[in-house]
Each structure stands twice: as structure tokens, then as C-alpha cells.
Amino acid sequence: MGWKEWAIDAFEIFGPASLAVVSFTEAIIQPLPPDILYLPMLVDVMGDTPAVVWLWLVVTISSVLGSIVGYWIGGRWGDPLMQRFAKPEHISKLKLLSEKYGTVGIFIAAFSPIPYKVFGWIAGMTEMDRTSFIAAGLAGRGLRFGVEALLIGLYGQQALNALFWFLDNEILLAIALIAMTIVAWFLWTWWNELGEENPSPE
């Protein structure tokens, strides 16, 4: 049994409280995403709207509260922390991303699979406005976990059937994969070019 499976089994017995702990700590430093607990819990309460909403609130609010701690850590120890876990050129690009895109960048990080904790550290390092940081986190995290709640918690089997139908249609799947590849290529090109228009003076 791997460490992730062990962690899931250990936390699962505590229900929503364990979800809150995993979501809170993931937004600070630990690598275990809350989805691995959140999604099975949604499946267990399919059709029970109050329970779905409760799980959504737990995972969203605890994640944002954790990110506030990450913001504080970034403000105090951000530079040595990032230098230990990231390459210098990546650190400079993340700082530029936070300074240039601010709230939008945090929203994207909160909504996407990009490690949310890293942007919390960066926001603290760059002294981003805390209210804007929290608002972007609530919007992004709320939307991300809300989509999962709608698809699985409220629409359950219909969502699964739609997914299977999509996977059975090879043409649509191929088009989606091509589109994702193109988007990934543009994002990779944009990331590599980030900051080149304003190079740091020697």
C-alpha cells in the first residue's frame, strides 16, 4: 500500500473533519490534494443536496483558510522556501505572474490543478493585497470544487453516463485531446517567454 492510499484510509474515518484538515494543509504545504477525499464523499451523498453543499463549503473554506497561512509563510520565509523547492528562473516568473496578473493569476491557480500553495507563498512574497488574494481564492476554489459537486454530487449517474458517452465517441475525444494539446503548447510557450519582454538589468 502506497503512502497516498494509507493517508486516504487514515483520514477517511473522520469524514468532513478529515476533508477540512487535508484541504487546509494542502493549501499550505502538503502534496495530497483534497479531491481524493472530496470526490468519494460526493459519491456517497449523491442526490442529498444539503450534504453536497456542506462538503463544498468545508473543502472551499478550509482551502482558503490554509492559503492565508501560506500567504503569511510567504511573507516571512518565502524566498528561502521557494529557493529550496523551485529553480530561480521559475521563482522570478511566478513573482512576475503575481505582480502582473494579481487577482486573475490567483483565481487561475485556485481553479486549476496548478499548486495553489505556491501562489499563496508568492502572493505573500510580493505583498499582494490580502483582501484581493482571499477574494480570488474564494472565487477560484469555490468554482473548482463547485463544478465537481454539481457534476458528481447533484447529477451523479447522469454525469458519469455523460462522461462514458464522451469517452465512447472517439472523434469527439480526439478533437478534445487535440484542443488540449494546442492550449498546453500555447501555455508552455507563454510561460517560457514570460518576463523576456522586461529582462532584469545585468
What is the CA angle 79-85-90, rounded to 5?
75
- Is residue 190 a part of any domain in this protein? no
Closest CA to 71 of 10, 119, 1: 119
Per-residue pLDDT of the chain (202 residues; tens, 9 = 90+): 454 555 555 555 667 888 999 999 999 888 788 888 888 888 888 888 899 899 999 999 999 999 999 999 888 876 776 666 666 666 666 666 666 666 777 777 677 666 778 778 888 887 888 898 899 889 989 998 998 888 887 777 777 676 566 656 656 656 666 776 676 666 566 556 655 555 444 4
- Is residue 56 a part of any domain in this protein? yes
Closest CA to 52 of 156, 162, 161: 156
- Is residue 62 a part of any domain in this protein? yes
Let me know: does 86 contact 111? Beta carbons within 8 Å: no
- How confident is the model at residue 8, as a pLDDT? 55
Helices and strands, counts by H and E, the chain:
9, 0
- Is residue 65 a part of any domain in this protein? yes
Give the number of residues written for the chain. Answer: 202
- Is residue 162 a part of any domain in this protein? no
- How confident is the model at residue 29, as a pLDDT? 84
- Is residue 193 a part of any domain in this protein? no
- Is residue 192 a part of any domain in this protein? no
**Containing domain of residue 18, as a range?**
3-156
- How confident is the model at residue 45, as a pLDDT? 85
pTM to 2 decimal places:
0.69
- How confident is the model at residue 151, as a pLDDT? 83
Look at the chain and report how many structural domains it folds into: 1
How many CB atoms lie under 10 A from the CB of residue 22? Answer: 26
- Is residue 195 a part of any domain in this protein? no
Closest CA to 29 of 66, 72, 78, 80: 66
- How confident is the model at residue 89, as a pLDDT? 65
